[in-house]
C-alpha cells in the first residue's frame, strides 16, 4: 500500500489575520508548505491540498513545493480528493492549521492504519476537536482511501475533515495520546499568526547545523543566526549558498597562485559560514534529505586546492618544503577523517578542519608570518591526527 496525504486548507484565519490558515507565515514560508513537507518526508505521494478557493499566496506556496519535487495535487472538493487516491492507499489526514514535528507522524505511521493522534481533554483549548469526554483530536489521523471515498459520497453539506474524523472514530481507530505539557511544543492548531510566533522561535532555535568544529560553534554562530533570519523569507536556496562557498574557495585558490595572499585569505574567511547557513535554511524549510549534496564534497576539494596553491605561492621564497608541508597537512587531515569516521572522539570539536585552519591562519596573516602560519597549520593537522588515533585505539580499562 502506498501513502497519500490529505491536507485541509479551506478555513479562514482568525483576526487580526486575513486569508487562509494554510497561508499563515511560518519560518519564512507558509504553514501549508511545512505540512506538505512533513507528509512528503514520511513518504506521502501525492500530497492532496483540499481548498475551496486558491488565493495567490497559496498558489505561490504550491509552486514552490512542486519546484522542490513535492508531488502536490489541488482538490477543490471532497470528490476530487477522493478521486486522487486508491481505495487501498493509506491516507494521512492533516487538520487545517495543524503544525507538529516529524516524530508525531512517525509515531502514527508505525501504527499501521486506522489510527488517531489525540491530546487529553483537560487543559486544552476548543481548537482541538473533541472526540469523547477524555480526549480531543490532535490534528493528525491515518485512515484509508476507501474511507475517504465513502465519506465523499455521503458528505453533502458536512465538513469533510470532521466527518472523516468521526468515521475513523466509529470504525474503532487506535488512539495515541500526546501530552502537550511533556511532549513537543510543536503541536498546535493555529488560527492566526500569533499562535505560530512561539513555535517559529523554537523551530529557529532547533535549526542548528551540525557544528563539529570550534569555529562554527564559538565564532560564527551569531553571524549564521543573523544571516538565517535575514534569508529565511527570501527565495534564496541552500544550494546557492553552498555553490557560493565553493566558488569563493576556488577563486581564493586561483588568487594564491598569483601571490594575492591577502585577497585570497579574505575570500576564504567569507566562505566559512556559508555551508552552515545553508544547512540552517534547509532545516527550516525541510528541504533535502539526509544525504549531503555534491557541493559538500566539492568544498573540501577546493579547500585542499587552496592550501596547495597557498604553499605554491610561498615556495618561491621558502623553497619546495612549503609544498611538502601542505601535502603533509592534507595527508594527516585525510587520515584523521578515516580514523574518526562514525566515531565519537573526545575533543572532536577542536580537531583540525577546513574552517579551523582558515581562522587559525588569521593571526599569522595579520603579522605577515606566512611561513610560520603554514607550519602551524601542518602541526595542527598532525597533532589532530595523532590525538584522534590515540582516542580511537586507546585501551579501555575494564569496569
Label residue 291 exposed, middle or buried (CB < 10 Å: 0-12, 13-18, 19+). Answer: exposed
> Which string of b and e fits 343-373 if b means at least 16 CB within 10 Å?
eebeebbebbbbbbbbbbbeebeeeeebbeb
pLDDT tens figures, 176-198: 888 765 445 578 899 998 988 88
Q: Span 146-158, mean pLDDT?
A: 85
Q: How confident is the model at residue 364 (pLDDT cuts 50, 70, 90)?
A: very high
| Residue-range domain boundaries for the chain | 3-197, 210-393
Residue 306 β-bridge partners: none
Q: Is the pLDDT of residue 206 over 90?
A: no
Q: At 25, is the secondary structure helix, strand, or coil? A: strand
pLDDT tens figures, 295-329: 778 999 999 999 999 999 999 998 999 999 999 99
State the Cα–Cα distance between residues 106 and 140, nearest whole angstrom: 11
State the Cα–Cα distance between residues 83 and 101, nearest whole angstrom: 29
Q: 466509529: which residue's cell?
A: 170
Q: Is the pLDDT of residue 264 over 50?
A: yes
Which of 50-54, 227-231, 289-293, 346-350 is the least confident region? 289-293
The alpha helices in the chain, defined as continuous H runs, are 31-41, 56-67, 78-83, 102-109, 145-153, 160-170, 194-206, 214-218, 221-231, 238-257, 261-271, 274-285, 294-318, 321-340, 354-366, 370-393
- Is the pTM higher than 0.85? The answer reads no
Q: Span 155-181, mean pLDDT?
A: 84
Which of 129-133, 136-140, 161-165 is the least confident region? 129-133
- Sign (positive or negative) of CA dihedral 349, 351, 353, 355: positive
State the Cα–Cα distance between residues 203 and 112, nearest whole angstrom: 28
End-to-end CA distance of the chain: 49
pLDDT at 183: 47
pLDDT at 292: 61
Domain 210-393: give its CATH code: 1.20.120.1760
Name the residue with higher pLDDT: 107 or 362: 362
Q: Span 7-13, mean pLDDT?
A: 93
Q: Is the pLDDT of residue 74 over 60?
A: yes
State the Cα–Cα distance between residues 4 and 141, nearest whole angstrom: 12
Domain 3-197 has CATH 3.90.550.10: yes
Q: Is the pLDDT of residue 291 over 60?
A: no
Q: Span 59-73, mean pLDDT?
A: 91
Q: Is the pLDDT of residue 285 over 90?
A: no
Q: Span 114-137, mean pLDDT?
A: 85
Amino acid at each position: 500500500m502506498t501513502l497519500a496525504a490529505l491536507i485541509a486548507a479551506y478555513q479562514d484565519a482568525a483576526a487580526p489575520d486575513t486569508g487562509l490558515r494554510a497561508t499563515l507565515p511560518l519560518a519564512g514560508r507558509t504553514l501549508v508548505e511545512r505540512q506538505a513537507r512533513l507528509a512528503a518526508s514520511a513518504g506521502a505521494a501525492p500530497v492532496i491540498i483540499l481548498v475551496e478557493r486558491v488565493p495567490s499566496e497559496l498558489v505561490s506556496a504550491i509552486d514552490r513545493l512542486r519546484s522542490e519535487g513535492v508531488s502536490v495535487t489541488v482538490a477543490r472538493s471532497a470528490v476530487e480528493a477522493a478521486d486522487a487516491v486508491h481505495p487501498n492507499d493509506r491516507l494521512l489526514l492533516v487538520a487545517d492549521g495543524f503544525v507538529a514535528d516529524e516524530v508525531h507522524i512517525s509515531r502514527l505511521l508505525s501504527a499501521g492504519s486506522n489510527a488517531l493522534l489525540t491530546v487529553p481533554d483537560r487543559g486544552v483549548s476548543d481548537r482541538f476537536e473533541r472526540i469523547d469526554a477524555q480526549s480531543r483530536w490532535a490534528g493528525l489521523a491515518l485512515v484509508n482511501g476507501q474511507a475517504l471515498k465513502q465519506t465523499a459520497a455521503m458528505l453533502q453539506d458536512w465538513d469533510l475533515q470532521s466527518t472523516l474524523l468521526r468515521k475513523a472514530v466509529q470504525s474503532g481507530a487506535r488512539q495515541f495520546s500526546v501530552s502537550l505539557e511533556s511532549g513537543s511544543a510543536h503541536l498546535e492548531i493555529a488560527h492566526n499568526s500569533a499562535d505560530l510566533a512561539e513555535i517559529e522561535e523554537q523551530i529557529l532555535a532547533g535549526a542548528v547545523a551540525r557544528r563539529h568544529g570550534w569555529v562554527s560553534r564559538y565564532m560564527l554562530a551569531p553571524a549564521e543566526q543573523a544571516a538565517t533570519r535575514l534569508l529565511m523569507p527570501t527565495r534564496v536556496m541552500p544550494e546557492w549558498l553552498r555553490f557560493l562557498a565553493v566558488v569563493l574557495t576556488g577563486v581564493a585558490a586561483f588568487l594564491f597562485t598569483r601571490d594575492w595572499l591577502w585577497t585570497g585569505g579574505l575570500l576564504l574567511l567569507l566562505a566559512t559560514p556559508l555551508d552552515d547557513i545553508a544547512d540552517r535554511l534547509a532545516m527550516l524549510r525541510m528541504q533535502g534529505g539526509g544525504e549531503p549534496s555534491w557541493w559538500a564534497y566539492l568544498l573540501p576539494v577546493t579547500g585542499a586546492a587552496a592550501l596547495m596553491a597557498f604553499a605554491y605561492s610561498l615556495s618561491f621564497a621558502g623553497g619546495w618544503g612549503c609544498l611538502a608541508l601542505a601535502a603533509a597537512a592534507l595527508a594527516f587531515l585525510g587520515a584523521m577523517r578515516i580514523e574518526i569516521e562514525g566515531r565519537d572522539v573526545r575533543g572532536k570539536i577542536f580537531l583540525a578542519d577546513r574552517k579551523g585552519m582558515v581562522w587559525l591562519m588569521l593571526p599569522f596573516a595579520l603579522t605577515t608570518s606566512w611561513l610560520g602560519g603554514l607550519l602551524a597549520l601542518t602541526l595542527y593537522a598532525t597533532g589532530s591526527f595523532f590525538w584522534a588515533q590515540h582516542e580511537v585505539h586507546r585501551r579501555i580499562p575494564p569496569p
